[in-house]
Amino acid sequence: MYHSGLASAGRGALYLNGVNTTRNISNVRIYNNTIHSGDASGLLVFLTSVNASFRNNIFYSENNQPYYSDSNYNGIRSSDYNAWYGRGVRPAWATGMNDLNNIDPLITSLAAHDFHLLAGSPAIDAGIDANAIATNDYDGVLRPQGGAFDIGAYEYISQTFHPADANQNNKIEMNELIAFIGKWKSAQATLTDVLTALDKWMRGM
């Protein structure tokens, strides 16, 4: 299970049931998910498995629901590089040294189920290298971006905008060009930047 963006409705956002002996789940690796619980436990695990490992996941409890619950579990939970937020500190069994423990991961919009990270998110570049498992994010973007794996379903892609692009839409509009030339006249912009802005505007970029 990896790089999913999940939102719950009723039951757990992610529900694994391996209690039945005929479908005994084992060696489960849960990597790079964003697990959001609005009205149920974020992750419900009913496993008899061993070696369930959790890496690079965001567990986000919106309404104080448990991050996680399980029953009949007799395996080993291995957990690190996860972010836990919304219900206080992480579960007692999660003892990884590299977790974001009760720190807001700064998700774009829970209401819209847009789980992309915002600029400045502590989850950016805070994950472990999971390239053997999760080579792309939920959008298909290659991991890692920016030097290291992010925690959650999406890699954060930093954008650099031309200094004339005041509304940061990757397009120089005429009003922006005029304002930028004004900045140049008052020595707040360089001639080089003015010329590239002019070039972009002429080419409709």
How near is the Cβ of 147 to Ca ion at its closest, in Å?
Answer: 6
Q: Which residue of 70, 80, 125, 193 would you call a contact of Ca ion, by CB under 5 A?
A: 125
Which parts of 169-188 interact with Ca ion (CB under 5 A)?
Answer: 169, 171, 173
- Per-residue x/- track, 127-156, Ca ion (CB under 5 A): -----------------xxx---x------
In this chain, which residue has its C-beta nearest to Ca ion? 146
Rounded to the nearest 10 degrees, the angle between the axes of helix 191-202 and helix 174-185 is 170
Q: How many residues bind Ca ion (CB under 5 A)?
A: 10
- Angle of CA points 73, 78, 83, to nearest 5°: 110
Sketch the per residue contact string, 80 through 119, with Ca ion: x for CB under 5 A, - otherwise.
----------------------------------------
How many other CB atoms sit within 10 Å of the CB of residue 64? Answer: 9
User: Rule CB under 5 A: is residue 196 a binding residue for Ca ion?
Assistant: no
The terminus-to-terminus CA distance of the chain in angstroms comes to: 40
Pairing of strands 114-117, 107-109: antiparallel
Instruction: Tell me the β-bridge partners of 109.
Output: 114
What residues pair up with 16 in beta bridges, in sequence order? 45
Please say whether the beta carbons of 83 and 152 come within 8 A: yes
Closest approach, Cβ 59 to Ca ion, in A, equals 19
Nearer to Ca ion, 94 or 130 (CB): 130
Interface with Ca ion by CB under 5 A: which residues?
A: 125, 144-146, 150, 165, 167, 169, 171, 173
